[in-house]
Amino acid sequence: MRRYPGLTLFAVGLALFASLLTILSSWVLGDAVDELKFIVDNGLELTPEFVGLCWLILAFALLLFVTYIVVGFAFAIMTLRWERDARQEFFEVIQNNSMTFHDQVDSKQMLAVAMQDIRWVRFSLNPALRNIIMAIGSLIIASVLLAWIDISQGLFPILGIIVAIGSPLYLFFAYRYAVAIEPVRRVRSEQNEKLTAVSQEVFRGIEVVRAFGAEDLESSKFRKVSKEYERLLTKEGRLAAFYIPNLILTATTAAAFLYCANQVISGVFPVGTLVKAIALLAVVDGFSHILPRFLLVIRGGHVNAQRIVDILDWADPLNDPDSPVKNINWTGDIVLDNVSFRYASGGVDEGPYALRNLSLTIPGGSRVALIGGPGSGKSTILKLLLRLYDPTDGKILIGGSDLGRVRTKDARAAVGLVEQNVFLFRRSVKDNIAFGKVNATMDDVVTAATRAQAIEFINELDEKYDTVIGERGMTLSGGQRQRLAIARTLLQDPKILLLDDSVSAIDARTEFHLRKALDEVMTGRTSITVTQRLRTLLEADMVIIMDKGMVAAVGSHEELLRSSEHYKRIYRRLPGAERYFDRDAVGRDA
Amino acid sequence: MARHGGPGALAAEKHVRSRPLGVLIRSMFGYLGRFRRIIYLGACLSVIATIFMAIDPLVLSWGIDLVLEPGTEMDGIILLALLYTGLKIASWIFGSINTWILSGAQAGFVQSLQQDVYDRLIRADLSYHKGEQSGDVTSRVTSDTDSLAMGIQIIIDLASQVLLVIATFILMWMASPFVAMAALVVIPVVISIVVLFGTVGQRIMLATQRAAGKVSGQIAENLGGVHVAKAFNREKETAAILSELNQESYRHGFNFMMLMTIMQPMVRATGIAVMSLILFVGGGLAIGNDPALTLGQVFLGTILIQRFFHPLLMLSMNATMFQASLASMDRLMDVLETEPTVKDTEGAVPLRPDSDGIEFEGVSFSYMEGAEVLKDVDFRIGPGEMVAVVGHTGAGKSTIAALLNRFYDPQKGNIKIGGQDLRDITLDSLHDNLALIAQEPYLFDGTVMENIRYGRPTATDDEVVAMSKLIGAHEFIDVLPDGYSSIIIEEGKNLSAGQVQMISIARTMLAKPRILILDEATSRLDAYSESLVQDAQDKLFSKRTTVVIAHRLTTIANASKILVFEKGSLVEQGSHDELMELGGRYKALYNTYYSHQSAGEISDEAVKTAQEEMAKVEKMSQGKLGSQKGPMMGHGGQAQHDKN
């Protein structure tokens, strides 16, 4: 709205004009009744004046129609544009927030804010604000006109006093109702969301529920939530009963009727004035139903706006440096200097360390294998190198430059990641591969797919490169997804490659393909692979064993087999297990 | 994959009703159940309130006529004012009591309906859930029940609205039939508004919802892949795609809002225009020597016309909404009238404590007619035995797990546990004694502690921690930001795939089932963690019947018996050594699928085999084999076997 001050003023002015038209038609009705009385009293035919007044009312109706549409048009443009831009901006802001944000906030909640909350704020501007402007405008104009009836005749403004008492009281009680119902409505809609969440979750995990025979448990959980919803729904509904403003309006109308009737009998007012008073109050009555509803929406909109602002105000711990380092030697050594890291938790307490006092040097161009159990900190190292997070303590140097002083954009251009749970977009195979490089050509895509050993299965898909992933049950196996991710990364051509290769249990042919694809993608760059693939361990220049956020041992496969009990223990457990086959003698002596 | 749209994003799509109108309306009242009386009472109160409301303008018009009579005293006027106020207050009180009563009844009705539908769905056949999106199932519970409540409200309102329209028309007719006839001019306006909204409006509304659904789906997907967009510096592109959809949604939203905006002035302007018309007609009738109308009646006509027009419009608009309620009723009846086929049979007894061991007798099963997943399967697993099930993707392995859990009943044959037919065992006792670790682990929103405890709700915190320690999950849970109280969101997006699987394993092992079924339960774990889980399994379940759908060599080697499946048939069974000796399908499968998981040298051999197979498959696929399933290696394995 602030962006279109002229338009806003124009629209509000026009809205008030529309209210005026509605009111004036009632006013003219009174004049017409007076004219009619004159005709009746004098036994005349319908006078041109009377017919003219009828036409005037009709003209008001037409003018009102046009004005209303113009008002609606102006409001629609302003508020819908606001909605569109706010949604876009909201998304862009949260997208730019670092992963710390995305780890903590449920994306369902963010989606709800982006869609619902922003829509409700818009709703509170249009139609709510638009209608309230018109309703209150009508009330004020009607009150002024009623007061004017006495004043214009030089009388003590009794009608003025009646409306001066009635209108504020009316508004006060309408507002009080909105204030009372707003929190109930809010809690009720939150409860409704909860109800949806509870049932959706259970239906999604229905097999688990069924397998543990937990139907009764879930049913009683649901009952609790839905009973609470019932209570709130009842409360909200009952607040609407005994709506006091209607009584005030009745009292005002009765008082105005008594006063005017008395004046008519006394011969002070013509009968038309009585009609005017009643008709004006009838117009106010017409608005009285929408007023509380929209007052409520406006108050609610304030809460929705607060939710949006709260998310937008999130202070990102990861910021681009003011004076970024450029010309970084990405192929240089990677040094972790006393790095500690902990993930921010949603709560007040700070979580435990995921990495503790980690110091490591990875020579440029080397192949590194990273092993360790869940929670040992393997993936955290990869995320830090991608600068998805900054270390809590210590720093990471690449080719001598502090990664914390590198723009995230530059870091992510030079560092590539093939994740464990490969995320593919609901787009075509081609678009998913091309995601690695801006403006990638079809040739680029085919070359990358070939190098990543993905071309064979792509050609077997119904629509080849145009097959949309995730559509009509189109799913890919883990090995296929991984090869698409490798193709994507090959297009990106990063200097440092991070690979979370924890895929297991694949058949020999897939293994063969993957191995070739991995060789291809590792060539000519520093690579750090989280793995349990025996071959990768054997071929690595350096194996790092992680344990509870610390380095347990570092060295080549042979060195570690000799020196590290920890490594021997893990190695012995690797699949294949010499326990059953005597081919590998190395593991046996451990 | 990202989830798309909210529940009911497209719920307004046209729904073809499968039941006749009468049946639907009757059952709508049928479901009122214990709320029926109170809702009838509400409807009566609402009718009384309407009667008072219908006559209050009459009082005002009497007043106008009265003041025009010469020699009127104020007494009469005061009396009329009191009458007017009395009528208004009475109408207000009856209306309010009605609102008060109905709010409670309606909310109660919605709740009991929700509960019925939910209870029904939670016990519905899994084949139903497999065929539906979970979002659609949820909207049965939430939006359809709401819509039905709205339908009830509409029916209650219907009584008072019809009454108001008729009473108002009669009042006008009594004043003058001409006025009443003139009032009918609003009918074409009402019809045109309704038609406009029914046709163009409906289309615009659907398009608007669809466009908004696309925006919502895109945001959901972009948020799901935000780490990928970040890793590849493509934030700008995802924003641009959204911007396009957003603009599209704006365009449709604008059309929709203009439609709504036109509606309001049409109603108001028509209200004023007909007022002018009645004034003119009434004026003509009020003059002359023998006037048909008094001035008060002319005024009455201008007020009554509004009371005629608005409820008439509401009635017609409600008709559209009522259609939606009927569609909801139809969908709800689908749910409420479907009896689950998998349920406790009459005379079902709990699983006997001595029942153990599993038998499949001539079991055939298909999810869809005509596509048999299991064909005439016979096998027997002794009590306390550990059996491995192997085979290619699509051989029917997971189906065995599903049938054992009685997620489905087989079309042919019997499944028995210790001689008791599965269908004669109560579902509760079956699920208490038999537990499955599924291939796709699913975690609920909630803390890690709650998720593990789901396996046995009575377990103490210490027992949960002890179990986690035993399978090696404690180490990573302990270092989560809030330890065991860490909240799992979105099925575990804040955990690694391996961690999610560990938690689901802890959950099942905590349940301490007598019979354990593992469906590739450790496929996402690193080798070391897997071995810890295996140790725990050995310790806890060594003497219990265990069925393992195997994906790793180590599991097969531990099994006392191996069942080899191919395309739904059990083709070989025996111990590892026996089957290797046999030199059949198992050996081929073993060589291509399992042996390369061992040390390096064997891998090279496997790779060579694989290379040969690849050449074969490629040759085949050039010919005709354009299967979408991709490079699984059913044929390759067969080829290998033939060569051996």
The predicted pLDDT at position A349 comes to 54
Residues of B within 8 A of A557 (CB-CB) are none
Domain B21-337: state its class: mainly alpha
Residues A276 and A135 sit within 8 Å (Cβ to Cβ): no
Residue A198 forms part of a structural domain: no
CATH code for the domain of A277: 1.20.1560.10
Statement to judge: residues A373 and A438 lie in one domain: yes
Find, among A509, A367, A158, A292, the residue nearest to B607 by Cα. A509
Q: Could you give the angle at the alpha carbon of A309 between the alpha carbons of A304 and A313, nearest 5°?
A: 155
- Look at residue B621 in the predicted model and tell me its pLDDT: 38
The gap from C-alpha A463 to its chain's centroid, in whole angstroms, comes to: 34
In this structure, what are the phi and psi dihedrals at residue B363, rounded to the nearest 5 degrees?
Answer: -85, 125
Start-to-end CA distance of chain B, whole Å, equals 42
**Which residue pairs, CB below 8 angstroms and at least 24 apart, start in B203-206?**
B204/B252, B204/B255, B204/B256, B204/B259, B205/B12, B205/B256, B206/B12, B206/B13
Which one is predicted more confidently, A35 or B30?
A: A35
Residue B613 confidence (pLDDT) above 70: no
Let me know: does B69 contact B94? Beta carbons within 8 Å. Answer: no
Element (H, E) at B606: helix B600-623
Determine the pLDDT at residue B296: 85
Instruction: Provide the 3-class DSSP secondary structure of residue B544.
Output: coil
- CA dihedral angle for residue B233, residue B238, residue B244, residue B246, rounded to 10 degrees: -130
Residue A99 in contact with residue A383, Cβ under 8 Å? yes
Amino acid at B444: F
Instruction: Give a yes or no: residue A226 inside a domain.
Output: no
Q: Bigger pLDDT: A532 or B383?
A: B383
pLDDT tens-digit map of B126-135: 888 877 777 7
Please say if the pLDDT value at position B546 is more than 50: yes
Query: Rounded mean pLDDT of A446-474?
Result: 76
Q: What is the pLDDT of residue B602?
A: 39
- Between CA B407 and CA A560 the distance in angstroms is 49
The structural domains of chain B, with segments of one domain joined by +, span 21-337, 358-582
Per-residue confidence (pLDDT) for residue B597, from 0 to 100: 53
> Of all helices (H) and strands (E), which one includes residue B446?
strand B446-447
Q: Which of B122, B445, B448, B482 to mutate to test the interface with A (most CBs of A within 10 A)?
A: B122
Average pLDDT over residues B479-488: 82
Q: Is residue A101 part of a domain?
A: yes
Shared domain for A254 and A366, answered yes or no, is no
Neighbours of A426 (CB within 10 A): 20
Please give the average per-residue pLDDT across B305-327, as a whole number.
83
pLDDT given for residue A59 in this prediction: 92
The letter for the amino acid at B450 is: E
Contact between residue B295 and residue B325 where contact means Cβ atoms under 8 Å apart: no
Domain for residue A502, yes or no? yes
Average pLDDT, chain B: 80
Q: In which band, very low, low, confident or very high, does the pLDDT at B596 lie, cut at 50, 70 and 90?
A: low
A100 close to B (CB below 8 A)? no
Across A426-434, average pLDDT: 84
Distance from C-alpha of A33 to C-alpha of A271, rounded to nearest angstrom = 7
Query: What pLDDT is attached to residue B620?
Result: 41
Does residue A289 sit in the same domain as residue A338? no
pLDDT digits over B48-92, tens only?
A: 888 888 888 888 888 888 888 887 788 888 898 899 999 999 999
Q: Is residue A380 part of a domain?
A: yes
pLDDT of residue B90: 92
Do you know the residue count of chain A? Answer: 590
The predicted pLDDT at position A507 comes to 59
> A276 in a domain, yes or no?
yes
DSSP H/E element including B397:
helix B397-404
Q: What is the pLDDT of residue A8?
A: 82
CB-CB contact of B286 with B191 (8 Å): no
Q: What is the pLDDT of residues A573-584, one digit of tens each?
A: 665 434 333 344
On whether both A363 and A302 belong to a single domain, the answer is no
Whether A471 contacts chain B with CB within 8 A: no
CA dist A73 to A121, A135, B503, Å?
18, 18, 56
To the nearest 10°, the Cα dihedral for B442, A226, A128, A131? 150
Cα B188 to Cα A404: distance, rounded to the nearest angstrom: 72
Number of domains chain A is built from: 2
Same domain, A62 and A174: yes
A252 pLDDT exceeds 70?
yes
Residues A394, A532: one domain?
yes
The burial of B619, by beta-carbon neighbours within 10 Å (0-12 exposed, 13-18 middle, 19 or more buried), is given as exposed
Query: Using an 8 Å Cβ cutoff, are A195 and A225 in contact?
Result: yes
Highest mean predicted confidence (pLDDT) among A86-90, A132-136, B189-193, B488-492: A86-90
Residues A267 and A412 in one domain: no
Which is higher by pLDDT, B91 or A240?
A: B91
Asked if the model's pLDDT at residue A124 lies above 80, the reply is yes
**A590 Cβ under 8 Å from any chain B Cβ:** no
Asked if A570 and B473 come within 8 Å (Cβ–Cβ), the reply is: no
Q: Which residue of A has its CA nearest to B262?
A: A69
Q: Kindly state the average pLDDT of the residues B138-165.
A: 84
Cβ atoms within 10 A of the Cβ of A103, count? 19
Q: Spell out which residues of chain A touch residue B89, defining contact as CB-CB under 8 Å.
A: 247, 250
The answer to whether the Cβ–Cβ distance between B275 and A251 falls below 8 Å is no
B479 backbone dihedrals φ, ψ, rounded to 5°:
-95, 5
Q: Based on the domain organization, do A291 and A430 belong to the same domain?
A: no
Q: With 90 as the cut, is the pLDDT of residue A158 above it?
A: no
**Among the listed residues A17, A502, A503, the one whose alpha carbon sits nearest the alpha carbon of residue B265:** A17
Determine, for residues B499 and A412 on separate chains, whether the beta-carbon distance falls below 8 Å. no
CATH number at residue A469: 3.40.50.300
Strand ranges in A232-377 using DSSP code E only, listed in sequence order = 334-341, 355-362, 367-371
Supply the pLDDT for residue A509.
Answer: 63
Q: Are A273 and B139 in contact (CB under 8 A)?
A: no
Any idea which fold B358-582 has?
A: Rossmann fold (3.40.50)
pLDDT digits (tens, 9 = 90+) for B247-293: 999 999 999 888 888 888 888 888 888 888 888 888 888 887 788 88
Instruction: Give the separation between CA B79 and CA A323, rounded to whole angstroms.
Output: 86
Longest dimension (CA), chain B: 124
CA distance B146 to chain A (A): 11
Within a domain: residue A406?
yes
Spatial CA neighbour of A499 closest among A370, A411, A372, A325:
A370
In this structure, the answer to whether residues A89 and A49 fall within a common structural domain is yes
Asked if the bond preceding B350 is cis, omega within 30° of 0, the reply is: no
Interface A–B counts its CB contacts (< 8 A) at 551
Instruction: Specify whether the CB–CB gap between B280 and A30 falls below 8 A.
Output: no
For residue A301, pLDDT over 90 is answered with no
Q: How many angstroms separate the first and last alpha carbons of chain A?
A: 74
Measured CA to CA, the distance from residue A122 to residue B430 in angstroms comes to: 53
Among A449-453, A471-475, B585-589, B596-600, which stretch is predicted with the lowest mean pLDDT?
Answer: B596-600
Residue B306: closest CA among A282, A271, A222, A507: A282
Q: Where are the alpha helices (DSSP H) in A97-106?
A: 99-104
| Mean pLDDT, rounded, for B400-427 | 87
CB A522 within 8 A of CB A406: no
Q: Which helix (H) or strand (E) holds A123?
A: helix A118-123
Q: Which residues, 6 or more positions from A10, have their beta carbon under 8 angstroms from its beta carbon?
A: A74
Domain identity same for A128 and A15: yes
Contacts 24+ apart (CB under 8 A), A457-463: A457/A483, A457/B630, A457/B631, A458/A429, A459/B621, A460/B621, A460/B625, A460/B626, A460/B627, A460/B628, A460/B630, A460/B631, A461/A429, A461/B628, A461/B630, A462/B626, A462/B628, A463/A428
pLDDT in tens, A268-278: 888 888 888 88
Residues 173-202 of B with CB under 8 A from A: none
What burial class does residue A281 get, using C-beta atoms within 10 Å of its C-beta: 0-12 exposed, 13-18 middle, 19+ buried? buried
Whether residue A423 lies inside any domain: the answer is yes
Distance in Å, alpha carbon of A400 to nearest chain B alpha carbon: 22
Task: Let me know whether A472 and A344 are in one domain.
Answer: yes
Quick count: other Cβ atoms within 10 Å of Cβ B281? 21
Among A51, A242, A549, whose Cβ lies nearest the Cβ of B96?
A242
Residues 129-148 of A with CB under 8 A from B: none
Same domain, A376 and A453: yes
How far apart CA A69 and CA B303 sit, in angstroms, is: 25
Q: What φ, ψ does residue A511 adopt, rounded to 5°?
A: -55, -45
DSSP 8-state secondary structure symbol assigned to residue B336 = H
Question: Contact at 8 Å (CB) between B619 and B626?
Answer: no
| Mean pLDDT to the nearest integer, B371-397 | 84
Q: What letter represents residue B19's amino acid?
A: R
Tell me whether A68 touches chain B (CB under 8 Å). Answer: yes
According to the model, what pLDDT value does residue B254 have?
A: 92
Strand B372-381's sheet: what is its strand order? B372-381, B358-366, B412-417, B420-421
Chain A residues near residue B493 by CB distance under 8 angstroms? 107
Query: Where is mean pLDDT largest: A185-199, B109-123, B471-485?
Result: B109-123
Predicted pLDDT of residue B289: 78
Domain that holds residue A134: 5-183+243-312
Q: What is the pLDDT of residue B89?
A: 92
Q: What number is the average pLDDT over the span A559-569?
A: 76
Whether pLDDT at B588 is above 90: no
Which residues 4-43 in chain B show a CB within 8 A of chain A? 4, 6-7
Q: Does residue A590 register a pLDDT over 60?
A: no
CA nearest neighbour of B566 among B399, B387, B397:
B397
Chain-chain contact of B254 with A386 (C-beta, under 8 angstroms): no
Q: What is the mean pLDDT of residues A446-469?
A: 80
pLDDT, residue B134, reads 73
Q: How confident is the model at residue A553 (pLDDT cuts 50, 70, 90)?
A: confident
Q: Express as a percent the part of chain B with pLDDT over 90.
A: 4
* Distance between A148 CA and the closest CA of chain B, angstroms: 21
